[in-house]
Amino acid sequence: MAYYETMFDQLDVTVAQMLVTDSSFRDKDFRKQLSETVRAMLKMRVIPVFNENDAISTRKAPYKDATGIFWDNDSLAALLSLELKADLLILLSDVEGLYTGPPSDPNSKLIHTYIKEKHQDEITFGEKSQLGRGGMTAKVKAAVNAAYGGIPVIITSGYDAENIAKVLRGLRVGTLFHQDAHLWAPVVNTTSRDMAVAARESSRKLQALSSEDRRKILLDIANALEANEKTIKAENDLDVVAAQEAGYEESMVARLVMKPGKISGLAASIRQLAKMEDPIGRVLKKTQVADGLILEKTSSPLGVLLIVFESRPDALVQIASLAIRSGNGLLLKGGKEARRSNAILHKVITDAIPETVGSKLIGLVTSREEIPDLLKLDDVIDLVIPRGSNKLVSQIKNSTKIPVLGHADGICHVYVDKSCKMDMAKRVVSDSKIDYPAACNAMETLLVHKDLEENGVLNELIYALQSSGVTLYGGPRASAKLNIPETQSFHHEYSSKTCTVEIVEDVHGAIDHIHQHGSAHTDCIVTEDGEVAEIFLRQVDSAAVLHNASTRFSDGFRFGLGAEVGISTSRIHARGPVGVEGLLTTRWILRGKGQVVDGDNGVVYTHKDLPVLKRKDALENGHGAMENAL
Amino acid sequence: MAYYETMFDQLDVTVAQMLVTDSSFRDKDFRKQLSETVRAMLKMRVIPVFNENDAISTRKAPYKDATGIFWDNDSLAALLSLELKADLLILLSDVEGLYTGPPSDPNSKLIHTYIKEKHQDEITFGEKSQLGRGGMTAKVKAAVNAAYGGIPVIITSGYDAENIAKVLRGLRVGTLFHQDAHLWAPVVNTTSRDMAVAARESSRKLQALSSEDRRKILLDIANALEANEKTIKAENDLDVVAAQEAGYEESMVARLVMKPGKISGLAASIRQLAKMEDPIGRVLKKTQVADGLILEKTSSPLGVLLIVFESRPDALVQIASLAIRSGNGLLLKGGKEARRSNAILHKVITDAIPETVGSKLIGLVTSREEIPDLLKLDDVIDLVIPRGSNKLVSQIKNSTKIPVLGHADGICHVYVDKSCKMDMAKRVVSDSKIDYPAACNAMETLLVHKDLEENGVLNELIYALQSSGVTLYGGPRASAKLNIPETQSFHHEYSSKTCTVEIVEDVHGAIDHIHQHGSAHTDCIVTEDGEVAEIFLRQVDSAAVLHNASTRFSDGFRFGLGAEVGISTSRIHARGPVGVEGLLTTRWILRGKGQVVDGDNGVVYTHKDLPVLKRKDALENGHGAMENAL
B66 touches chain A (CB under 8 A): no
Q: What residues of B are in contact with residue A207 (Cβ under 8 Å)? A: 538-539, 541
Q: What residues of A are in contact with residue B204 (Cβ under 8 Å)? A: 515, 539, 541
What integer pLDDT is reported at residue B49 of this predicted model? 92
Whole-angstrom distance, CA of residue A118 vs CA of residue A595: 48
A530 touches chain B (CB under 8 A): no
Position A131 confidence tier, pLDDT thresholds 50, 70, 90: very low
Q: Is residue A71 one of the residues assigned to a domain?
A: yes
Are B7 and B155 within one domain?
yes
Write down which residue in A515, A548, A564 finishes a domain. Answer: A564
Q: What residues of B are in contact with residue A394 (Cβ under 8 Å)? A: none
Whole-angstrom distance, CA of residue B124 vs CA of residue B117: 13
Q: Tell me the residues of chain B between 118 and 177 that have a Cβ less than 8 Å away from chain A.
A: none
CATH number for the domain spanning A461: value is 3.40.309.10
B624 touches chain A (CB under 8 A): yes
- Average pLDDT of the residues in B608-616: 78
Nearest chain B residue (CA) to A511: B204
CB contact under 8 A, A572 and B546: no
DSSP per residue, A55-98: TT----S-SS-TTSS--SHHHHHHHHHHHTT-S-EEEEESSSS-
Structure confidence by residue, pLDDT tens digits, A477-512: 999 999 999 998 898 889 899 999 999 999 999 999
Q: Is residue B569 one of the residues assigned to a domain?
A: no
What integer pLDDT is reported at residue A395 of this predicted model? 84
What integer pLDDT is reported at residue A119 of this predicted model? 76
Are B268 and B291 within one domain?
yes
What integer pLDDT is reported at residue B121 of this predicted model? 65
Are A149 and A214 within one domain?
no
Query: Is residue B55 exposed (0-12), middle (13-18) or buried (19+ Cβ within 10 Å)?
Result: exposed
Q: Is residue B624 one of the residues assigned to a domain?
A: no
Whole-angstrom distance, CA of residue B464 vs CA of residue B501: 13
A289 touches chain B (CB under 8 A): yes
A396 touches chain B (CB under 8 A): no
Q: Give first-to-last CA distance, chain A, whole Å.
A: 66
CB contact under 8 A, B545 and A590: yes
Beta pairing class for B443-449 and B498-504? parallel
What percent of chain B is predicted at pLDDT more than 70?
A: 90
Domain that holds residue B432: 412-564
CB contact under 8 A, A10 and B10: no
Q: Is residue A582 one of the residues assigned to a domain?
A: no
Write down which residue in B374, B398, B422 finishes a domain. Answer: B398
Are A144 and A228 within one domain?
no
Chain A: closest CA distance from residue B228 (Å): 33
**Other C-beta atoms lying within 10 Å of the C-beta of residue A197:** 18
Are B351 and B462 within one domain?
no
Are A370 and A227 within one domain?
yes
Nearest chain A residue (CA) to B606: A560
A446 touches chain B (CB under 8 A): no
A602 touches chain B (CB under 8 A): yes
Total length of chain A: 630
- Average pLDDT of the residues in A143-159: 92
What integer pLDDT is reported at residue B290 of this predicted model? 94
CB nearest A435 (choices: B548, B585, B599):
B599
Q: Is residue A41 one of the residues assigned to a domain?
A: yes
CATH number for the domain spanning B292: value is 3.40.605.10
Average pLDDT score over chain A = 87
Write down which residue in A183, A218, A251 finishes a domain. Answer: A183
Span of A11-15, A480-484, B270-274, B568-572 with lowest mean pLDDT: B568-572
Are A61 and A32 within one domain?
yes
Is residue B379's pLDDT more than 90?
no
More confident: B456 or A68:
B456
CB nearest A598 (choices: B289, B382, B431):
B431
Q: Is residue B595 one of the residues assigned to a domain?
A: no
Q: Give first-to-last CA distance, chain B, whole Å.
A: 66
CB contact under 8 A, B596 and A427: yes
What integer pLDDT is reported at residue B165 of this predicted model? 87
Q: What residues of A are in contact with residue B575 (Cβ under 8 Å)? A: 585-588
CB contact under 8 A, A624 and B602: no
Are B177 and B205 within one domain?
no
Are A343 and A454 within one domain?
no
3-class state of residue A215 by DSSP:
helix
CB nearest A573 (choices: B293, B424, B572):
B572
B604 touches chain A (CB under 8 A): no
CB contact under 8 A, A572 and B576: no
B398 touches chain A (CB under 8 A): yes
CB contact under 8 A, A293 and B549: yes
What integer pLDDT is reported at residue A134 of this predicted model? 43
pTM value? 0.70
What integer pLDDT is reported at residue A187 of this predicted model? 43
Question: Cβ(B538)–Cβ(B426) under 8 Å?
Answer: no
CB contact under 8 A, B542 and A587: yes
Q: Tell me the residues of chain B between 204 and 223 that have a Cβ less than 8 Å away from chain A.
A: 204, 207-208
Is residue A466's pLDDT more than 90?
yes
Are A148 and A61 within one domain?
yes
Could you say which DSSP state residue A105 is in?
A: S
CB contact under 8 A, A573 and B575: no
Q: What residues of B are in contact with residue A400 (Cβ under 8 Å)? A: 401
Nearest chain B residue (CA) to A602: B431
A179 touches chain B (CB under 8 A): no
Structure confidence by residue, pLDDT tens digits, B168-220: 877 778 999 998 887 774 444 457 888 999 999 999 999 999 999 999 999 99
Structure confidence by residue, pLDDT tens digits, B90-111: 999 888 899 887 776 666 778 8
What integer pLDDT is reported at residue A488 of this predicted model? 85
Average pLDDT score over chain B = 87
Position B55 confidence tier, pLDDT thresholds 50, 70, 90: low
Q: Is residue A97 one of the residues assigned to a domain?
A: yes
What integer pLDDT is reported at residue B116 of this predicted model? 79
CB nearest A539 (choices: B204, B552, B576):
B204
CB contact under 8 A, B281 and A560: no
B595 touches chain A (CB under 8 A): yes
- Average pLDDT of the residues in A390-401: 83
CB contact under 8 A, B602 and A548: no
More confident: A233 or B29:
A233
Is residue B615's pLDDT more than 80?
no
CB nearest B571 (choices: A207, A535, A585):
A585
> Structural domain tally of chain B?
3
Structure confidence by residue, pLDDT tens digits, A177-189: 998 887 764 444 4
Are A230 and A112 within one domain?
no
Q: What residues of A are in contact with residue B597 (Cβ under 8 Å)? A: 431, 435, 550, 552-553, 558
Position B327 confidence tier, pLDDT thresholds 50, 70, 90: very high
CB nearest A544 (choices: B541, B544, B590):
B590
What are the angstrom distances between the C-alpha of B138 and each of B25, B88, B128, B130, B143? 20, 18, 13, 9, 8
Nearest chain B residue (CA) to A378: B398
Whole-angstrom distance, CA of residue B598 vs CA of residue A431: 6
B383 touches chain A (CB under 8 A): yes
Are A149 and A274 within one domain?
no
To probe the interface with B, which of A591, A603, A614, A616 has the most B CB atoms within 10 Å? A591
Q: What residues of A are in contact with residue B10 (Cβ under 8 Å)? A: 3, 6
Chain B: closest CA distance from residue A517 (Å): 14
Structure confidence by residue, pLDDT tens digits, A568-583: 888 888 899 988 888 9
Beta pairing class for A412-416 and A383-387? unpaired
Whole-angstrom distance, CA of residue A528 vs CA of residue A43: 87
To probe the interface with B, which of A294, A561, A585, A628 has the most B CB atoms within 10 Å? A585
Q: What are phi and psi of A237, to 5 degrees?
A: -60, -40
CB nearest B607 (choices: A572, A605, A623):
A623
Span of A90-104, B252-266, B499-513 with lowest mean pLDDT: A90-104
Whole-angstrom distance, CA of residue B599 vs CA of residue A431: 9
Position A143 confidence tier, pLDDT thresholds 50, 70, 90: very high
CATH number for the domain spanning B102: value is 3.40.1160.10
Question: Cβ(A225)–Cβ(A338) under 8 Å?
Answer: no
Could you say which DSSP state residue B490 is in?
A: S
Whole-angstrom distance, CA of residue A165 vs CA of residue B495: 49
Q: Is residue B622 one of the residues assigned to a domain?
A: no
Q: What residues of A are in contact with residue B591 (Cβ under 8 Å)? A: 533, 537, 546-549
Question: Cβ(A294)–Cβ(A590) under 8 Å?
Answer: yes
3-class state of residue B414 by DSSP:
strand
